[in-house]
Amino acid sequence: MLKSETSFVVRYAETDQMGIVHHSNYPIWFEAGRTDFIKTMGMTYSQMEAQGILLPLIELKCSFKSAARYEDEVVIVTSIKQFTYTRIVFYYEVYRKGSGTLLAMGETSHAWTTRELKPVNLKKHSPEIYQLLYMAYEQSQ
């Protein structure tokens, strides 16, 4: 099953006055995971954008299980949950390294669009990108 792992250290600016990581950072962490996942497939998200394919979010879900704190080393595990001609859904789990505690899990649903944010059928618009992602999706099952 194809998964990518992304590790980094929690930044001070990511904390809030509760003393924990503010929840608005998790979508940003998911995105870092997504960037790495696509890279493991042999292309980069920058290259996809250069070919005129964008991936704006249409839905975001996140469940928070345990608080992350400043200087925690966290790891984002990313995989594909759903994949069609018009959409892709990524799934994420966030762990604290060392303890292995599950901090959060979430998913993001994206439409395939042009640079002008018009939805496209990925298979028709960019068959090579479709092929790469389809293979990654197959391996994710």
* Residues at the site binding a copy of itself, with contacts judged by CB under 8 A: 8-9, 11-13, 15-20, 22-28, 31-32, 35, 44-46, 49, 54, 56-64, 67, 69-71, 106, 117
Query: Smallest gap, in angstroms, from Cβ of residue 8 to a copy of itself?
Result: 6
16 is catalytic: yes
Residue from 16, 49, 71, 138 carrying the catalytic annotation: 16
Query: Smallest gap, in angstroms, from Cβ of residue 40 to a copy of itself?
Result: 13
2 contacts 40 by C-beta, under 8 angstroms: yes
Distance between CA atoms of residues 26 and 128, nearest Å:
30
Closest CB to a copy of itself among residues 118, 138 = 118
Query: Smallest gap, in angstroms, from Cβ of residue 62 to a copy of itself?
Result: 5
The contacts of residue 104 (CB under 8 Å, 6+ apart) are 26, 62, 63, 64, 65, 66, 68, 92, 93, 94
> Nearest CA to 56 among 117, 136, 106?
117
Residues catalogued as catalytic:
16
